[in-house]
Amino acid sequence: MKIRYMTCRTCNAALPEKSSQGDQWHRDCAECYPKNALPTSVNDAREIAVHFEDRSLRVFPHISNDGLLAMRLLPNMQSYVLMANGDIRMRPNDFVMPEGLPIQLMADIERSFILTDRRVAEAKRAFEAYAANDFEVID
Ligand SMILES: [Zn+2]
């Protein structure tokens, strides 16, 4: 028999109305997610679910190697990063800018990681939902 969990297992607050996974595992709510202790490796990130239009996104929040908030969305192999100016970047996690390049070339390389296609909407939804605590914790 399936039990549908409607409330957080830690604080008993209501889970999001669209909670899609609360019928198998007892979830935590967004308030109980350790936002101030995000890991720097996506491999250590706790999964959350963000509802996007008619589907749920599986999201792994973490801190990028340059200290910015990053979100890995399955099945992507790289993470979205929200830049200070609102741009969304996606570049390999292990990317390191080569030393000694002309400043303009370094700027061009950085700009090449900025997304301008439809992935931007998906990424922004994930960041907005995270900021607004509009998600549920999967593990
Ligand atoms: Zn809770």
What does 92-103 look like in DSSP terms, one character per residue?
A: -TT--PPTT--H
pLDDT for 25: 75
Instruction: Give the Å distance between the CA of 53 and the centre of ligand 1.
Output: 24
Helix (H) or strand (E) holding 28: strand 28-29
Residue-wise pLDDT tens digits, 45-75: 999 999 887 888 899 999 998 899 999 999 9
Instruction: Give the Å distance between the CA of 115 and the centre of ligand 1.
Output: 34
Instruction: Give the Å distance between the CA of 9 and the centre of ligand 1.
Output: 7
Instruction: Give the Å distance between the CA of 35 and the centre of ligand 1.
Output: 13
The pTM for the full model equals 0.86
In DSSP terms, which residues pair with 63 in a beta bridge?
A: 69
Which tokens in the block code for residue 100? 């000694």
